[in-house]
A and B are shown apart, each in its own frame.
Chain A
């Protein structure tokens, strides 16, 4: 039954030659890959330290969730499903590929028995699905061109050619798999009249049916050449991966495993350094000042553009696109740590080099980029580190210097006097309804209301402070404030990179809080909440006022009157530092829904996709280069959702929203209210026992 043109010996000889060829390709490929990877690891070894070796089981669980189960991908439905299919196919096929790599060429690798049969069927399908996905992906790239893939002119040329080349390579690999399986089956059928069955309706199965009539020698030749082509493509692709966005296929597992675990925190100036006086300088100035994990982030970015698609700074035309923070740093790394020549590090400043100062100051640290990234690439810590470097060089926008100096000398960015910190409580009408004590060690209270600068000093925002105090008073809470002893929480001071000033503010506050003897802390400012919860240590547990209200409403301690205005449609705007950074999404919504007759709609961007109002703290002083205000975009989103009242739970959101309503020309048609103000307005007040009404009540009872 052997073909007429070739003798059995000849064929055996060919297989022998083929075997040698395979082994050669195999070894060369592996050697080259090891060399390339070693070169890529080189800058990581010169990078700063990073503490990522703890909490192994938590990290493994996150690998299961975010890597194996591709948790974040479906946030972009179409592309996400496509990626899950490709990823699944790759993992399936990789089992065989790596078996090949490890076991070399023990002719045919197959798993025994039913599992082997099932696995073969699975690979038939995997190859088919991945091949078809490549076609769909190429059509998306060429025909539909999703906007988030576009490369703005200032960032260089478009990346689509690279992407399509890569898709082509993968398609080629899949095609090899398909042809190999089909031709092997067809040859077996001709040789022995029986074959391992191929998965029905898969591409190998269809091709097998087409090939069944082809003469055996041609089939064997095809099989052999496709095998060589497969090997060549496989190793080319493997060695080509560390040269661009395709690198994520190799690095993603590590990037997800070593991802940041603690939300809302900022990395220390230098990991593992206790005494900061011994540090030569703060922050990132040169490329090598990034930590190794941050460099791994640069390698891992898949250029999918989801971060920038969600970045509010990017949306309003600020000179910041998180995607290009990664891409530019990776380009720098590839250029200065090349694979085929010596590393040529120039130690050049990264800001002023690959990044501009405006780019680095444009970030509001809202966290939308990090929330979206399927590969868990971090941005806020890098931005903060770059700012630390700028601060260290004295390179700070003039608009921020005055508030920073005021924070240093007065403990608040407005330069107001400490002794006026509690002046918001002096309002005559307010004092009649609620008394706010200053806890100073002599006067004690169970709970501390941490007010923070804006609520203490801004005449509009003071109303939030008074509403919060009245709510706490209503719940029967024994509470007080620190008054002049309270300094700014330093939340933005830290995120703007002024670590030493932040530490001074923090140490002062921690001491004042501990001296006050309170058992817990409540705040109405999500930035203060995040600082107290995630930046401070050694202070009592802290809650945001929305959590307190939700609890009291659930227990029936707070009851609400129905909303008077029939035409009012409410929407809740998630403050970044309450929502994304601290996962408080449900409590404020619970409170709103507990108010009888309140009509509430959701904006399309809500919860973990909330759109930043423009930023708080020092960001209010910064003068960004932008086409539009973030707040204006946000109030327009509220209008689109059909709302006419924006409820928020952050004093900075309030400032930005009220400004934006005016700028957007929506005055009279849209309003903003803080959750505490709304609750304070709708609360059913208990009649105070000493009030005239209560007295009359008592008298009539008698």
Chain B
């Protein structure tokens, strides 16, 4: 089974102190460190495990510029055989529909059995996966937390629904799935692995290679424009429970029950 995983390079929320820039329309990007969007790591791990079981290749793809090669390399160090960087000056400023259009063009020129994305990007809107499926007219499932390959080109897919419950679906291939964290335990990518793929040539695909009409993507075509970021005003402070340990436990149980956390 040939699997495509769409990944994104994002500022690492655990290793940065995120601040707004002066204009208030973006975050301060000096001194940021980036990493692979957390959900995408789970998607790559799942793809590697599926490819291990069924045979076939895993390709990682991202839309961006040279700086984004870093995440492709990291996922290759993890085990992905192929990678693709979708990059062209004309693509800058694309909205989610623009990104989905580019990915669709890649899939049409490089057919896949299965396409995985993360549920969302840490700095994104959780839209691309669904849009890509719709554009390709493929079946789509979001919040996937288990995948089982069945006979006859079908998948059994488990989705996470309210309250940690699971919903089981059977789906035809090819399809698009957005992968939820916790579906597996992504393997560690060591420095040695990263060094080994440091000089691997990463194929780049521009508008010409993909056969994309430049007018359909990029800033001019974007129908959604980000206009503002703001930090919400601080709410009421946390409540600190007082009393003996037993009293605190009793109060806590009451509170959790009242909010529906315990039945």
Interface on A for B, CB 8 Å cutoff? 276-277, 282, 391-396, 398, 400-402, 404-406, 408-410, 415-417, 419, 498-501, 504
In the complex, how many angstroms separate the beta carbon of A276 from the nearest chain B beta carbon? Answer: 8
B188–A394 CB distance below 8 A: yes
In the assembled complex, B187 has its CB within 8 A of some CB on chain A = yes
A406–B15 CB distance below 8 A: yes
Interface on B for A, CB 8 Å cutoff? 12, 14-17, 31, 33, 35, 78-79, 185-193, 195-196
Inside 8 A of B196's CB, which chain A residues have their CB? 277
A500–B17 CB distance below 8 A: no
Chain B's closest residue to A396 (CB) is B188
In the complex, how many angstroms separate the beta carbon of B58 from the nearest chain A beta carbon? Answer: 14
A438 vs B31: C-alpha distance when bound (angstroms)? 20
Chief secondary structure at chain A's binding surface: helix
Known A394-B78, A417-B17: A501·B12 in contact at CB below 8 Å: no
Known A409-B35, A415-B15, A417-B17: A500·B191 in contact at CB below 8 Å: yes
Known A394-B78, A417-B16: A410·B33 in contact at CB below 8 Å: yes
B191–A408 CB distance below 8 A: yes
Chain A's closest residue to B189 (CB) is A394
Q: Which of A394, A408, A409, A500 contacts B187 (CB 8 A)?
A: A394
Chain B's closest residue to A502 (CB) is B191
Inside 8 A of B185's CB, which chain A residues have their CB? 398
Inside 8 A of B31's CB, which chain A residues have their CB? 417, 419
In the complex, how many angstroms separate the beta carbon of A494 from the nearest chain B beta carbon? Answer: 12
B192–A406 CB distance below 8 A: no
In the complex, how many angstroms separate the beta carbon of A139 from the nearest chain B beta carbon? Answer: 50
Inside 8 A of A396's CB, which chain B residues have their CB? 187-188
Known A409-B33, A500-B195: A391·B16 in contact at CB below 8 Å: no
CB<8 Å pairs between A and B, sample of 16? A276-B192, A282-B192, A394-B189, A394-B193, A395-B187, A396-B188, A400-B188, A404-B188, A405-B35, A406-B15, A409-B12, A416-B15, A498-B191, A499-B192, A500-B191, A501-B190
Chain B's closest residue to A500 (CB) is B191
Inside 8 A of A392's CB, which chain B residues have their CB? 190, 192
Chain B's closest residue to A416 (CB) is B15
A415–B188 CB distance below 8 A: no
Inside 8 A of A277's CB, which chain B residues have their CB? 195-196
A504–B191 CB distance below 8 A: yes
In the complex, how many angstroms separate the beta carbon of B35 from the nearest chain A beta carbon? Answer: 7
In the complex, how many angstroms separate the beta carbon of A340 from the nearest chain B beta carbon? Answer: 39
A409 vs B185: C-alpha distance when bound (angstroms)? 21
Inside 8 A of A395's CB, which chain B residues have their CB? 187-188
Inside 8 A of A398's CB, which chain B residues have their CB? 185
Inside 8 A of A416's CB, which chain B residues have their CB? 15
Chain B's closest residue to A504 (CB) is B191
A500–B14 CB distance below 8 A: no
Inside 8 A of B17's CB, which chain A residues have their CB? 417
Inside 8 A of A410's CB, which chain B residues have their CB? 15, 33
In the complex, how many angstroms separate the beta carbon of A344 from the nearest chain B beta carbon? Answer: 27
A392 vs B195: C-alpha distance when bound (angstroms)? 12
In the complex, how many angstroms separate the beta carbon of B49 from the nearest chain A beta carbon? Answer: 12
Q: Which of A394, A400, A409, A419 contacts B15 (CB 8 A)?
A: A409
Inside 8 A of A504's CB, which chain B residues have their CB? 191
A415 vs B33: C-alpha distance when bound (angstroms)? 9
A498–B14 CB distance below 8 A: no
Inside 8 A of A391's CB, which chain B residues have their CB? 188, 190
B12–A401 CB distance below 8 A: no
Chain B's closest residue to A493 (CB) is B191
In the complex, how many angstroms separate the beta carbon of A459 from the nearest chain B beta carbon? Answer: 15
In the complex, how many angstroms separate the beta carbon of A551 from the nearest chain B beta carbon? Answer: 39
Nearest 7 CB-CB pairings of A with B:
A394-B187, A415-B15, A396-B188, A500-B191, A500-B192, A409-B33, A501-B191
In the complex, how many angstroms separate the beta carbon of B51 from the nearest chain A beta carbon? Answer: 15
In the complex, how many angstroms separate the beta carbon of A434 from the nearest chain B beta carbon? Answer: 27
A522 vs B220: C-alpha distance when bound (angstroms)? 59
Chain B's closest residue to A419 (CB) is B31
In the complex, how many angstroms separate the beta carbon of B53 from the nearest chain A beta carbon? Answer: 17
Inside 8 A of B191's CB, which chain A residues have their CB? 408, 498, 500-501, 504
B190–A394 CB distance below 8 A: yes
In the complex, how many angstroms separate the beta carbon of B184 from the nearest chain A beta carbon? Answer: 10
A402–B14 CB distance below 8 A: yes
Chain A's closest residue to B34 (CB) is A409
In the complex, how many angstroms separate the beta carbon of B77 from the nearest chain A beta carbon? Answer: 9
Inside 8 A of B188's CB, which chain A residues have their CB? 391, 394-396, 400-401, 404
A415–B12 CB distance below 8 A: yes
